[in-house]
Amino acid sequence: MESRIRNFVIIAHIDHGKSTLADRFLEITGTVSARDMKEQYLDSMELERERGITIKMAPVRMEWKGVELNLIDTPGHSDFSYEVSRALKAVEGAILLVDVTQGIQAQTLANLEMARQSGLKVVGALNKVDMNPPGVEELRGELAKLIGVEPQEIHRISAKTGQGVEGLLDSVVSDVPAPKSGKEMEALIFSSLYDEHKGIIAFVRVFGGEFRKDQRTKLQAVGENFKVKEVGFFAPQLEVMESLKTGEIGYIATGVKDPDRILIGDTIGERGLPGFKLPKPVVFVSLYPDEGGDYDDLKVALDKLHLNDSALEFTPDSSQVLGRGFKCGFLGRLHFEITMQRLEREFGLATVNSFPSVAYKVIKRGGREEIVENARDFPDDPEKALEPIVKLNVLTPSEYLGSVLGLNKFYRMRDVQTGNAGRNIKVEARLPLAELIMDFDDKLKSVSKGFASFSYEPVGYEEAELRRLDIYIAGELVPGLSRVVYKEDVEREGRRMTEKLRDLLPKVQFVQALQAKVGGTIVARENVKALRKDVTGALYGGDITRKKKLLEKQKKGKKKLVGMSRVSVPPEVFRELLKR
């Protein structure tokens, strides 16, 4: 039976066409009829179709020339690299897809390296050849060299028109090895989905044994036993089967309702497969409902998002100014942005958020070490502070190399090295994670006109001179605007933030004093002028004392307003403050 199965993934950079290629596979194999077909069929969320990126992995089973093909469509962004790594463990082969108009990108190289480490058979394909761009054969040779095959083994396809796609499917059948059979009952969880009636549905690859309905089995990482409610495969909708056998990819309905019990990379069965780890959040943001009364709605929304996104972490948080909210952990900035948009789109919730922060290690007086994930908890005068560092890999066309290296003026890029990578230049550097999550992606796209790409991986912690910068508006601390900055940058950043706030904050009926403070020291100060209403406009001539009385009354009213005011910083102001 296993000899008639091929399990594979498509790995590619964002926008290189992996979802469109999956669409053509579904059409050509007759898995989805032309009438039911829609673009990016396997992308489960409207947001994915709109942004053109795949976040949630959607598996599908197809038949091609008597062989069962199981495809996993993986995310293509560094934030989701752990999900990709577990998907690669579930298969024997990978299609490495490269857009001929953009060439080999940084994340392509990162995912290829993961595929090699997993021992996968890699099949190369150049997409969008229908556009007839120059240099296709040169790129074909480059990709062949990268994979270690002859140039003629690299497929030239158009996922849009279907050109060459049947030949690519034939190569999957002929080149990707069939799964090996195992004796122990083992099924690897590579994704999951929440269902009101069936509980959490685990997407699995069976490595050994056979799983059936009503069978008792175990989640190895958490040590929890459960009774299987249902098993089946993806067509791509859920199709019930009697059993899931060795080598197959399908689903197991667990009946478990707690998303923290079903973990990506865990094993269902008699023993745990190697390589499991908990994905760790690297970006931390405190979220508060825009209207104080929406706290319960925000909790319900985050709970629902967590059911299908176990990497999202959140704990209750509170602020004197912003009220009750949640401290959330994300896999990266894209993960954070997608979650914010889902809260708005799917639940109609507007939120106010703190500055994105990273997990700092702080050594306090007396030698006690603690992890600080929220900027407002960073101590005034730590004995020592360490920040997380990433290894950055940038691929850029040679004509933009100078501009990319020029980013050193804005970011603390260290140990910069350059080298050839086919027709591109590879730039390697070390960079503080806090700098990466600010706006590095936007800046890189800007200086390279969108042609450069990057991937990153954490490499540990390094000591740094850091201070907490607080912002006060009208004498009131705004916790969401607190940031951890380098000691040498406190005055410059303080000035930058107060000047930006002066220009961005909406005017109210009293002067808003803006102060940037480090410890008890004011390092920058600005004012937002009052919105002036002409209360004497209706008086034409007449007694001057009447005008004075009205102006005095307005002055007292403004003083009262200052005392009653609640500082409100619109979400778009936070977004603007993130830009350099």
Known binding positions for GTP: 15-20, 127-130
Nearest to 301 by CA among 344, 343, 341: 343
Q: Torsion angle, CA of 85/91/95/97, rounded to 10 degrees?
A: -20
- Residues 201 and 250: their CA atoms lie apart, in Å, by 10
Question: Strands 224-227 and 360-363, how do they pair?
Answer: unpaired
- Residues 158 and 482: their CA atoms lie apart, in Å, by 49
Nearest to 490 by CA among 527, 439, 524, 525: 524
DSSP secondary structure string for all residues of 204-219: EEEEESEEETT-EEEE
User: Please, what's the b/e burial string for 323-338 (b: 16 or more CB within 10 A of its CB; e: otherwise)?
Assistant: bbbbbbbbbbbbbbeb
Binding residues: 15-20, 127-130
- Residues 466 and 381: their CA atoms lie apart, in Å, by 9
Q: CA distances (Å), 136 to each of 12, 155, 373, 448, in order? A: 17, 11, 47, 22
Question: SS3 for 41?
Answer: coil
Question: SS3 for 24?
Answer: helix
Q: Are 214 and 254 in contact (CB under 8 A)?
A: no
Cα-Cα-Cα-Cα dihedral sign, residues 157, 70, 50, 327: negative
- Residues 206 and 185: their CA atoms lie apart, in Å, by 8
Whole-angstrom Cα Rg for the chain:
28
- Residues 285 and 376: their CA atoms lie apart, in Å, by 11
- Ranges of beta strands (E only) in 100-183 are 121-127, 155-156
SS3 letters for 171-190? HHHHHCCCCCCECCCEEEEE
Question: SS3 for 84?
Answer: helix
Instruction: Give me the residue label for tokens 């990506």.
Output: 264
Question: Strands 323-330 and 238-241, how do they pair?
Answer: unpaired
